[in-house]
Amino acid sequence: MCGIVGYVGVSSNPVEVVIEGLKQLEYRGYDSAGFAVLRNSKVELYKEVGRISNLEEKIKGIDFSDIEGIAIGHTRWATHGGITVPNTHPHISNNGKIVLVHNGVIENYADLKELLLRKGYTFYSQTDTEVIANLIEEHMKEGNSLEDAVILSVQELSGTFGVVLFYADEPDKIIAIRKGSPIVIGIGDNENIVASDINAIVKHTKNVVYLDDGEIAIVKVDGIKTISFSGKNIKKDVFVIDWEVEEMDKKGYPHYMLKEIFEQPTAIENCIRGRLLEDEGYVKLGGISKLEGIIHKVKKFTFIGCGTAYHAGMIGKYLMENIGWMPAEVDFASEFRYRNPIVSQRDVVVAISQSGETMDTLEALREAKRKGAITMGIINVVGSTIARETGMGIYIHAGVEIGVASTKAFTNMLVALVMLSVMVGRKKKLGIFEGREIVSSLKELPELVEYTLQKTNKVTQELAKKFSNYRNFIYLGRGYNYPVALEGALKLKEISYIHAEGYSAGEMKHGPIALIDENMPVVVIATKHSVYDKVVSNIQEVKARHGKVIAIVNENDTTVSKIADYTIEVPYVIEPLSPIINVIPLQLFAYYVASTKGLDVDKPRNLAKSVTVE
Ligand code: F6R
């Protein structure tokens, strides 16, 4: 998916900021990169297909010391037109003065292009983006100011767009536009940085302003003005990001994913800090105090999310029913938004998202709001669109997650869901002793996760070597650990490209058992909880058909060790927290399989970290 970085200021080298920023967005996936600067009132464009390093190679030896304090850059993921230099952004208007980068899709670009062709414009690319630059030029030709020409142009565009532009004759500003595609502005010291993602900004400043849909920002070195698409002034809040710059470093790990797996103890500590009330067996969740006050009126919780966040929501349903004594549902955000869900004003819809920008989750949330539901978020990125639109929520404080495969955000989502369920349960039937047991287990969790990492790191690595050439896997779990089986399978398939199916262990005999033979590895979560005996029977069924069983068991388990081919031991924890422990060896196993195969673990093919398109 594309990435945008823009710079205006006097403190840094604009080219360095833009290139560095684009590198921070590399994880999003792209196939060409480019940037534009201004020298002696003339726009200079530099573009290259392939990696950013190709672009760096191309500009080696070029002196940028006398350029103006302005630059915009882009990493393109081809949609309209092939991967070529002319199609690479930035795109420039025919008069050579308006230059811009764009994320999203202009749906009516063909009509607009036709219109502009008739007016004598020439097009040099096959993109949908080039029309925007020429449309603005056309409106300026009619006598409008740059600002007014931008306003007139956005009113004619349909589709989604995050656009950043500058105009050669007004080099003191860049203009950012948002409709459906995220734009965030970092407020620095004598410099401001505009980007599609805060990763490109945090090195320079932690103070950020998020544009909302239908907003335009005129960003100068000494301030920002925000207006609506109809030209009305809008006052914006400044959010302070709680990420540390050091987090952007791999810290000696070969991949961000492995680093993030090992960061889970610290991430969980950050998530529970100041939130556990041990004596009362209760939790303090400041971001949902409004909900706490009206919880007796609530009839149902619905969790929505995509991918890994959806798996967290599935576990949220179990937690809400068992601990919260509350009816709960879970749905893929992409299904929820189109299935006409029955949601009342006494229902809470919980949007779960690491990035806070996933389009399907955002649209499902908006649908829930239209239906009058109470909404809240379980989100990692502070101030992200979903966090702002939910109105209340629990930040999971996992820190920056760069590896495309989500790991520490998943476990922190689960911690937040446990705390939410305790809050709800204690207002209902959950007694103080049960509350205390959960809360004190949460307190011990960082240490237990650290222990699990140390205990399972080597064995998962060895198993990965044995199994990296298999083409198919089945993952089985029951109860709380059924979604963990789905998550384990998702981790494996997305980074190793091995086909893996997650199944409820009890469902196996209703179909998938036909797949079992001596070539089918079956990963089973078999820790000692309520459904342990049932899972043991399911393992027997697999063994009877010569499947190869890798079982996740508790320390000192003797039953499963006798029947499974391989076991991975994890420490015991109370059942509601067991997914947080049990998923760790599955994350490690997926990581080691992919790295054994020499794959690009942090940037798996065809995937993007935040999916801001439908
Ligand atoms: C899987 C993964 C994706 C995301 C999904 C939702 O490892 O990362 O499945 O979980 O795209 O993303 P967020 O949580 O940002 O809404």
| Tens-digit pLDDT profile for residues 273-283 | 999 999 999 99
Q: Minimum mean pLDDT among 350-354, 492-496, 504-508: which range? A: 504-508
Q: Which of 358, 365, 386, 614 to mutate to test the pocket of ligand 1 (most atoms within 8 A of CB)?
A: 358
Spot the catalytic one: 2, 179, 408, 491. 2
Residue 480's H or E segment, with its range, is: none
CA 249, CA 253: separation in Å to the nearest integer? 9
pLDDT digits (tens, 9 = 90+) for 160-197: 999 999 999 999 999 999 998 899 999 999 999 999 98
| Token pair listed for 105 | 């899709």
In angstroms, rounded to a whole number, what is the distance separating the alpha carbons of residues 413 and 572?
20
pLDDT in tens, 515-568: 999 999 999 999 999 999 999 999 999 999 999 999 999 999 999 999 999 999
Contact predicate 161/213, CB 8 Å = no
Band of residue 613 on the pLDDT scale cut at 50, 70, 90: low
> What is the whole-number distance in angstroms between the Cα of residue 99 and the centre of ligand 1?
33
The helix-helix angle for 307-322 and 408-426 (nearest 10°) equals: 20
- H/E stretch holding 400: none
Residue 508 has pLDDT above 70, yes or no: yes
Q: What is the pLDDT of residue 1?
A: 67
Share of the chain above pLDDT 90, in %: 87
| Mean per-residue pLDDT, 591-597 | 97
pLDDT, residue 176, reads 98
- 494: burial class by Cβ within 10 Å (0-12, 13-18, 19+)? buried
**pLDDT recorded at residue 11:** 84
Query: pLDDT digits over 98-137, tens only?
Result: 999 999 999 999 999 999 999 999 999 999 999 999 999 9
Protein residue with its CA nearest to atom 16 in ligand 1 = 353
* C-alpha separations of 309 from 83, 330, 354, 413, 480 in Å: 32, 11, 7, 8, 15
pLDDT band at 77 (very low <50, low <70, confident <90, very high): confident
The mean of the pLDDT values for the chain is 94
pLDDT recorded at residue 241 = 84
Q: Residue 388 and residue 384: Cα distance in Å, rounded?
A: 6
pLDDT at 246 over 90: no
As a whole number of angstroms, the distance between CA 221 and CA 11 comes to 10
Residue 152 has pLDDT above 90, yes or no: yes
Mutate to test the pocket of ligand 1, among 27, 315, 355, 404 (most ligand atoms within 8 A of CB): 355
| 51-76: average pLDDT | 95
Q: What distance in angstroms lies between residue 333's CA and the mean position of ligand 1's atoms?
A: 11
Judged against a pLDDT cut of 80, whether residue 485 lies above it is answered with: yes
Q: 133: Cβ–Cβ under 8 A, 6 or more apart, which residues?
A: 91, 92, 93, 98, 99, 100, 165
Ligand 1, atom 7: closest residue by C-alpha: 405
What's the CA-to-centroid distance between 353 and ligand 1, angstroms? 7
In whole angstroms, what is the distance from residue 510 CA to residue 428 CA? 37
Helix (H) or strand (E) holding 569: strand 566-570
In the structure, which protein residues have their CB atom closer than 6 angstroms to any atom of ligand 1? Answer: 306-309, 353-355, 358, 361, 405-406, 490, 494, 610-611
Which is the closest atom of ligand 1 to the Cα of 609? Answer: 8
Q: What is the pTM of this model?
A: 0.86
509 annotated active-site: no
- Residue 271 known to be catalytic: no
Gap between the Cα atoms of 277 and 309, Å rounded = 27
Dist. CA 266 → ligand 1 center (Å): 21
Give the number of residues written for the chain: 614
Average pLDDT over every residue of 470-495: 97
What tens digit of pLDDT does each residue of 323-342 get? 999 999 999 999 998 998 99
pLDDT, mean of residues 24-31: 80
State the average pLDDT over residues 364-369. Answer: 96
User: What is the percent of the chain where pLDDT is above 70?
Assistant: 99
- Domains by residue range for the chain, with CATH: 3-241 (3.60.20.10), 250-430 (3.40.50.10490), 451-601 (3.40.50.10490)
From 113, 259, 491, 609, active-site residue: 609
